[in-house]
């Protein structure tokens, strides 16, 4: 537009200069002015068209955005409905499973039967005389609470059930020489990068997640070819005892957790060890240990299978084995072995754990507070238990 005005001014100037002169030249100048005016008019027309198209485009975009927001809300509503239906389906499946339980893994290998018949080893597979009056068994899981998520997918967290303090002990990973001690569960759950923890360097590196804290001592599995159990005083930071576990040709206790050859456990009765050997490679073995001397007091060959087992724990003298699948799904207690033979086969529970993240690398029973401290794909979880009295036979 500015260039058109300039042209017009130039031609007007020329018109003034040549006024009164050649008529042909004046006609030429008029034609040029008319051409400039036509171009200016055309420019205005095109500008109007462009403005109109821009407004229409803007309206179209606004309509598309509004439709997108509507579609987004509809999709969100559909996803929420689908999630509610899935949760309802899970509850219905859990109900059906509880009404029609899967047959527990209670096959007894021929070697176990033969060994029981021959009584090769004294105090092996004999009925256990309880030292407490505990007659409870697990009824169901009351609730699930997630405390925290750490970077390592495997590990162990636990407390001392006999201590008056609320200290929490953390083993991160499956092999290290460092133990972390937190003053409380709260400090552990709100801290990041172990900033509120006391770092304890152990005299020997540990292996697996089968360790336990009991009565002011840490009982842990020493890394190495032999299966050493170390008793470590958590107050004085000294080794008070050690022992080689008396079982030959040991193999991983759980097929889904091959880093655990010995899984130590504590309950109302004391200290236990869960393990497996090549002699009876299909089933788990259980041993009762003296926490003072680390002597093995008694052993049992259990009917609980190693295959698809991911973890286990002992509560009130009953070994509970937790199973899963190689492609992690829902963990379940599918086999229980009572060392006092007071649990009938009909009472063996089939308990499914709440929806989780992957597979448990450790599960420890707290006999004082009646919960399981679990490590599930980096998440530290509390499963609170409801107990019931079992039938005494």
Query: For residue range 137-186, what is the model confidence (pLDDT) as tens digits?
Result: 999 999 999 999 998 999 999 999 999 889 999 999 999 999 999 999 99
Tokens of 106: 């209670």
Give the alpha-carbon dihedral of 159, 161, 166, 168, to 10 degrees: -10
pLDDT of residue 135: 87
Give this prediction's pTM: 0.71
pLDDT of residue 125: 75
Weakly modelled stretches of the chain, pLDDT under 70: 1-23, 90-123, 193, 225, 345, 356, 391-393
Residue pair 264/248 in contact (Cβ under 8 Å)? The answer is: no
pLDDT of residue 101: 47
For 194, the 3-state DSSP assignment is coil
pLDDT of residue 15: 59
Residue 140's alpha-carbon distances to 358, 374, 386, 388, in angstroms, are: 21, 16, 5, 9
Residue 264's alpha-carbon distances to 224, 229, 231, 236, in angstroms, are: 17, 9, 12, 22
Is the CATH number of domain 105-389 3.90.930.12? no
Euclidean distance between CA atoms 156 and 366, whole angstroms:
13
Question: If you ran DSSP here, which 8-state letter would residue 121 be given?
Answer: S
> Residue 26 CB: number of other CB atoms within 10 A?
15
Number of H helices, E strands in the chain: 4, 21
Residue 272's alpha-carbon distances to 2, 50, 101, 117, 234, in angstroms, are: 96, 85, 29, 24, 20
Euclidean distance between CA atoms 347 and 331, whole angstroms:
19
Residue pair 275/287 in contact (Cβ under 8 Å)? The answer is: yes
């Amino acid at each position: 537009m500015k260039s058109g005005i300039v042209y017009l001014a130039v031609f007007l100037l020329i018109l003034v200069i040549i006024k009164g002169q050649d008529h042909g030249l004046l006609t030429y100048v008029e034609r040029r002015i008319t051409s400039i005016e036509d171009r200016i008019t055309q420019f205005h027309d095109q500008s109007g068209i462009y403005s109109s198209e821009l407004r229409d485009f803007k309206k179209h975009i606004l309509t598309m955005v509004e439709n997108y927001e509507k579609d987004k809300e509809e999709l969100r509503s559909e996803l929420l409905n689908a999630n509610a239906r899935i949760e309802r389906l899970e509850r219905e499946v859990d109900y059906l499973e509880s009404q029609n339980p899967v047959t527990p893994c209670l096959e007894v290998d021929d070697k176990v039967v033969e060994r029981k018949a021959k009584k090769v080893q004294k105090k092996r597979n004999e009925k256990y005389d309880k030292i407490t009056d505990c007659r409870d068994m697990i009824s169901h899981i009351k609730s699930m609470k997630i405390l925290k998520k750490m970077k390592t997918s495997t590990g162990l967290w636990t407390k001392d059930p006999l201590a008056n303090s609320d200290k929490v002990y953390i083993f991160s990973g499956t092999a290290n020489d460092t133990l972390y001690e937190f003053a409380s569960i709260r400090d552990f759950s709100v801290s990041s990068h172990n900033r509120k923890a006391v770092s304890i360097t152990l005299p020997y590196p540990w292996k697996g997640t089968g360790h336990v804290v009991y009565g002011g001592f840490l009982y842990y599995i020493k890394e190495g070819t032999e299966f050493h159990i170390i008793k470590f005083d958590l107050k004085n930071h000294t080794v008070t005892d050690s022992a080689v576990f008396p079982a030959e040709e040991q193999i991983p206790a759980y097929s889904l957790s091959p880093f655990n050859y010995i899984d130590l456990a504590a309950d109302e009765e004391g200290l236990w060890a869960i393990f497996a050997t090549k002699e009876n490679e299909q089933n788990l073995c259980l041993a009762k240990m003296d926490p003072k001397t680390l002597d093995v007091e008694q052993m049992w060959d259990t009917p609980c299978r190693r295959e698809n087992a991911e973890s286990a724990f002992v509560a009130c003298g009953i070994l509970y084995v937790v199973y899963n699948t190689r492609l992690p799904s829902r963990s379940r207690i599918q086999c229980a072995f009572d060392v006092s033979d007071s649990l009938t086969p009909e009472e063996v529970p089939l308990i499914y754990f709440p929806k989780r993240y992957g597979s448990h690398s450790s599960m420890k029973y707290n006999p004082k507070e009646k919960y399981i401290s679990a490590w599930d794909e980096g998440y530290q979880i509390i499963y609170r238990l409801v107990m019931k009295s079992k039938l005494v036979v």
